[in-house]
């Protein structure tokens, strides 16, 4: 069942969205990307002549209502984005939610209060899920960011709808479609660019991708564990001492699968982890004691550029350095620009994982890559080859 072919006329669509957006102290939304991402789904429902009942988690309340985690803070902004007044229920189940859902007219939208005000949400409680399900006549999951959680509103609720009455929203559809394109039908050469702080977070994704890849480019703090494992001197750079053997194993696995592995030949090094630190350039395998690699260097950038520009499929997860600090952003910025250039030349590029998405946005390049995933943990797990419960609940029915 595809949302593009579905007719919501006369239906009450219970829509799981991810409205877990950042707020400032005045309860203003500082980044509304997640809200904008689900507008097409809501608009499709209302334009078809259906009504939408929106449910989401918000923050990490400790098992009961807390004003700072109330979704009511989003109402004004949401109304202005949708161009219509929204209704609000002070609870996601119970009499008020029931009455307001029942009274919804075609074209109207109701926002339910934070699902995580009930501990049953994260427990995936069936009784709670059934109460949510009773509010709608069709279930739409458009919350890719929480698809890796078997929570009541993301997964269990789907059990109460038959196959003709549960479907993905447009965002979820696009996420799954683009991820599948990379995982199952990547054009070659296929290059993965993996960065970020720790190799331990990225082992599973690397292992799952190896049989499919032509090139694996490593950057960020995790590169130094590989460099040390190969006998390099890395000074004070980030290292996971207990992962040295694993790094060696991954190098062997790359060879076995015929994957070309690229580690940064040089680094921007600093005398402390600080935006104002003194900096210098060094070969990555001979970093002086007291210094640490905080970005890939110009030689590495030039090498990586060549590989990226020759690729037809590019998956990027994790920054090349401490891009939050200006002195160490050049590597990440150059790679972002190169991915954009490769995309312009016809490559398919998918960017995913919180920090690489933050980087691509920071450099204003989000429109110049093929797809930017909204799901951090969910995207990682999908690329690790796991079947996400929120996806399974709809797909396998």
Closer residue to ligand AMP in complex, CB, 261/277: 277
Binding residues for ligand AMP, rule CB under 6 A, total 16
Running DSSP on this structure, what letter comes out for residue 169? -
Q: Identify whether the C-beta of residue 23 lies closer than 8 Å to the C-beta of residue 60.
A: no
Least spacing, CB of residue 200 vs ligand AMP, in Å: 9
Least spacing, CB of residue 359 vs ligand AMP, in Å: 9
Closer residue to ligand AMP in complex, CB, 220/297: 220
Determine which residue in the list 134, 150, 197, 277 makes contact with ligand AMP, applying CB under 6 A: 197
Edge-to-edge order in the sheet of strand 109-112: 87-89, 109-112, 51-55, 12-16, 138-141, 166-168
Our finding on whether 124 is near ligand AMP (CB under 6 A) is: no
Applying the rule CB under 6 A, the residues between 309 and 348 that interact with ligand AMP are 318-319, 321-322, 324
What CA–CA distance (Å, rounded) separates 317 from 356? 6
Phi, psi of 16 (to 5 degrees): -85, 115
Q: For residue 218, give the nearest of 246, 234, 204, 199 by alpha carbon.
A: 199
Q: Which stretch binds ligand AMP (CB under 6 A): 52-60, 181-189, 190-198, 304-312?
A: 190-198
Helix (H) or strand (E) holding 255: helix 244-256
In the shown chain, the binding pattern of residues 286 to 315 toward ligand AMP, with x for contact by CB under 6 A and - for none, equals -------xx---------------------
Closer residue to ligand AMP in complex, CB, 221/390: 221
| Interior angle at CA 382, CA 391 and CA 120, nearest 5 | 50
Q: Is 225 helix (H, G, I), strand (E, B) or coil?
A: helix
Least spacing, CB of residue 149 vs ligand AMP, in Å: 19
Is the previous residue joined to 172 through a cis bond, with omega within 30 degrees of 0?
A: no
Closer residue to ligand AMP in complex, CB, 220/235: 220
What CA–CA distance (Å, rounded) separates 309 from 302? 11
Q: Which residues are catalytic?
A: 34, 198, 354, 377
Determine which residue in the list 50, 61, 220, 375 makes contact with ligand AMP, applying CB under 6 A: 220
Helix (H) or strand (E) holding 336: helix 330-344
Q: Is 101 helix (H, G, I), strand (E, B) or coil?
A: helix
Only one residue has tokens 């877990």, namely 20
Determine which residue in the list 66, 96, 201, 233 makes contact with ligand AMP, applying CB under 6 A: 201
Least spacing, CB of residue 209 vs ligand AMP, in Å: 16
What CA–CA distance (Å, rounded) separates 330 from 308? 16
Our finding on whether 125 is near ligand AMP (CB under 6 A) is: no
Q: Identify whether the C-beta of residue 357 lies closer than 8 Å to the C-beta of residue 321.
A: no
Least spacing, CB of residue 255 vs ligand AMP, in Å: 25
Our finding on whether 375 is near ligand AMP (CB under 6 A) is: no
Determine which residue in the list 108, 330, 355, 381 makes contact with ligand AMP, applying CB under 6 A: 355
The site for ligand AMP (CB under 6 A) is made up of: 196-198, 201, 220-221, 238, 293-294, 318-319, 321-322, 324, 353, 355
């Amino acid at each position: 069942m595809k949302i593009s072919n579905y007719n919501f006329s006369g239906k009450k669509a219970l829509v799981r969205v991810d409205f877990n957006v950042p707020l400032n102290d005045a309860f203003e939304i500082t980044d509304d990307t997640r809200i904008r991402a689900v507008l097409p789904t809501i608009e499709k429902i209302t334009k078809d002549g259906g009504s939408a009942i929106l449910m989401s988690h918000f923050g990490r309340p400790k098992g009961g209502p807390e004003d700072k985690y109330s979704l009511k803070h989003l109402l004004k902004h949401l109304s202005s984005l949708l161009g219509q007044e929204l209704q609000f229920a002070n609870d996601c189940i119970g009499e008020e939610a029931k009455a307001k859902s029942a009274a919804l007219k075609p074209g109207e939208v109701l926002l339910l209060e934070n699902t995580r005000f009930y501990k049953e949400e994260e427990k995936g409680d069936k009784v709670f899920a059934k109460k949510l399900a009773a509010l709608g006549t069709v279930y739409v999951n458009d919350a890719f960011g929480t698809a890796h959680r078997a929570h009541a509103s993301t997964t269990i609720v789907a059990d109460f709808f038959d196959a003709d009455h549960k479907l993905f929203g447009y965002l979820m559809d696009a996420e799954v479609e683009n991820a599948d394109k990379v995982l199952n039908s990547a054009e070659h050469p296929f290059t993965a660019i993996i960065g970020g702080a720790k190799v331990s977070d990225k082992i599973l994704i690397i292992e799952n991708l190896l049989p499919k890849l032509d090139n694996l480019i490593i950057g960020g703090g995790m590169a130094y564990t590989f460099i040390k494992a190969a006998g390099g001197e890395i000074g004070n750079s980030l290292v996971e001492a207990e992962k040295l053997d694993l790094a060696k194993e991954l190098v062997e696995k790359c060879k076995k699968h015929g994957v070309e592995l690229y580690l940064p030949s040089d680094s921007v090094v600093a005398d402390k982890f600080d935006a104002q630190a003194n900096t210098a350039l060094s070969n990555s395998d001979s970093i002086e004691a007291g210094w640490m690699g905080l970005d890939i260097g110009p030689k590495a950038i030039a090498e990586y550029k060549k590989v990226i520009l020759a690729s037809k499929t590019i998956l990027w997860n994790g920054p090349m350095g401490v891009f939050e600090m200006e002195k160490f952003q050049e590597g990440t910025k150059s790679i972002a620009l190169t991915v954009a250039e490769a995309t312009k030349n016809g490559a398919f590029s998918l960017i995913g994982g919180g920090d690489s998405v933050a980087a691509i946005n920071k450099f204003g390049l989000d429109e110049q890559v093929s797809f930017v995933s909204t799901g951090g943990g969910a995207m990682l797990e999908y690329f690790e080859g796991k079947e996400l419960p929120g996806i399974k609940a709809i797909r396998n029915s």
